[in-house]
Structure 1
Amino acid sequence: MLGPRLRFGAFIAPFHPVDENPTLAIQRDLELVQWLDELGYDEAWIGEHHSAGYELIASPEVFIAAAAERTKHIRLGTGVASLPYHHPLILADRINQLDHMTRGRVMFGAGPGALVSDAWMMGIPVQKQRDRMDEALGVLVRLLRGEEVTHASDWFELANARLQMTPYSRPSVEMAVASQVSPTGARAAGQHGLGLLSLGATTTAGFNALASNWAIATEQAAEHGQTMDRNAWRLVGPMHIAETRDQAMEDIRFGLEKWIFYFREIANLPLVPEGDDPVQAMIDTGMAVIGTPEDAIARLDQLVEESGGFGAFLLMAHNWAPWAATKRSYELMARYVFPKFQQLNVNREASMNWVRGNKDEFTSQVRQAVGARIVQHMMEKGADNIRPDIVAMITGAASKETPAE
């Protein structure tokens, strides 16, 4: 019996150095989603950021609308919408509209907002971001299920609020909550029975928190009459693979230093390992897979074991390598890593082994069948046009297989 099919996708913040043309950078993000769709990736999650100049997409909903028109199969999610930045009714209405426009391909990922500078510009107290996320999420879940909601808050109000259109997806779009090291996201996912987006799953802290955060989510779910589904648990981490480890390491020297600069000097997320050689430090700490498809498979096996099982792995889009090498990395994942975790070749291997095990019998039968037709031709037309070696082979085979009188 086949096991569960691990899904694959991308988590696109995105990350673009400030020396690039931003218009072309966003265009390349759209091209990436198209490429993922062609390769058979299941999902792409698009971030929301408003400052610091590196993560350029301000509205994942606008991006998803454009990407949906350029793709056929891939599901598209907000990864994530920062709930304290929006009135819940307006955000729910936009997601519901996308649910209809994409015929159910949209997903809703939620979080408190990653950049303090975003909240600062809007006058949102940083210490209130997670509380506001929890409050907004409670009403968003109900709105996106088509319910009427009345709610009074110190930062938003709903009076008999209801979406105009019944949700396309039933009971609603799929929803997930971002989680990293703190239990905030896991608690919120459990309280509402939502999916979990574990960011930084390959960092030391994120990796070590996988099992505990899932335990927190399931505990909260039980307390609130909900259930957690491992298939709706997504792990996020960076990988870049090539035909050889040396090639992969060489590829990412193109842009890794700029990415490290952003996280070390600008963003308030401790994602950068220490070391004289940043490429080697990423490998040694296990933060990223920089190597071959076999290295990616080994790391995913570790994540499955540590977590106890999850539904999807999302590659963090990082732009460490040149565009051609980046596309090749995603292609190698689809060609050589997907099959291991999706059992794509189980039947092929079984069929091959069966034919191999019966090769002698099948070879004997085909020789008999071909030989019989040649003998028939010789009896009707003679052997003038038949090569002598073939005549000898057939007559010899016949003498071995026909009992002596």
Structure 2
Amino acid sequence: MQEQANILVVDDEQGIRITLAGILEDEGYNVVVAEDGYKGIAAAEKTKFKIAFIDMKMPGINGIETFKRIKKISPDTIIFFMTAFITEDLLKEAVRLETQAILYKPLDIDLVLKVIKKDMIKTNILVVDDDFSIRETLKGILEDKGYMVSSAEDGLTAIEMARKIHFDIMFVDVVMPGIDGFQMLGEIKKISPWTNVIIMTGYDIEHLVERATSLGAYRCIPKPIDDMDKLLQILQAIKEDTIRSDILVVDDEFSSRETLKGVLEDKGYKVSTAGDGFTAIKMAGNTHFDMALIDVVMPGIDGFQTLGEIKKIDPEIKAIMMTGHDVEHFVEKAISLGAFAHLSKPIDIVELLQLTFSAIKE
């Protein structure tokens, strides 16, 4: 079982510290709390934290200064600011420091949990091979390169795993007991059409390429895998195939759009953001976007009006509408205006990635 991440919560309000720590511990995370910036810094000197939540306004030193000092100790720690209000100067400083996001009080717990899970997301790979040595060697190499890797010794096990977990990439051996790699590929594409499957074989690769490609495989590679540089180039090519897609995220809530931006960028998409409909329409007039994620409820003009104007500029753009309100009425109107799909808030990250893949590939 994968070890859970260490999380630091720094806030001078005891109620927030206790509540947030309790929720995170219930999710299985290891949580340390600190009542001010100095104690938060001291905690960071003793423990390596994956994520830190820091209140912006605290006695002693504020959240900005605490952020700077913790980053000196642990540059890899992902930091979220929390605040009940924020001045324009503080917002600019937070953005300049490249904080992961600003979460507004009272905290939306669903959003907190989603941003944590988003930042735990790496490219998720499944290695499927009945040869233990090959399976574990490839798994170790990919993990050393920063990928999240699982393994399965046969196709049936892999299919069951794919029903429960989203995998971005799979390495699949052709010859395995039970069902072979081609049968498994066919089943995987029914479950997860967006997964890139790389077929591995120790046999005549030219004979297999046409069949693998017809079933939706991304590539065929020979076994044994001796050229690791070439393997890593294939993984980079998969990422670059995704990067070619430009996405516009339109939402008046800063933390929401930055969270969505981060999720999509982590998967290789090129993402721009707009805080209102007018800005989004102007951006669509100057730049081609393959897809737009548009919040329905925004100041100025709402998401439906924004969608209508953007569709006039670029009828081919795929739009996914988002709302936390009156979903039934919203769905009908979104479809009538030509939206590709809809999402209910709080956004389910896996559903977001599935719909994004489908929209881009259509």
Provide TM-score, normalisation by structure 1: 0.26
Flag the structure with higher helix content. Answer: 1
Q: Which has the higher contact order (CA 8 A, sep 6+)?
A: 1
State the structure with more CA Rg. 1
Provide TM-score, normalisation by structure 2: 0.29
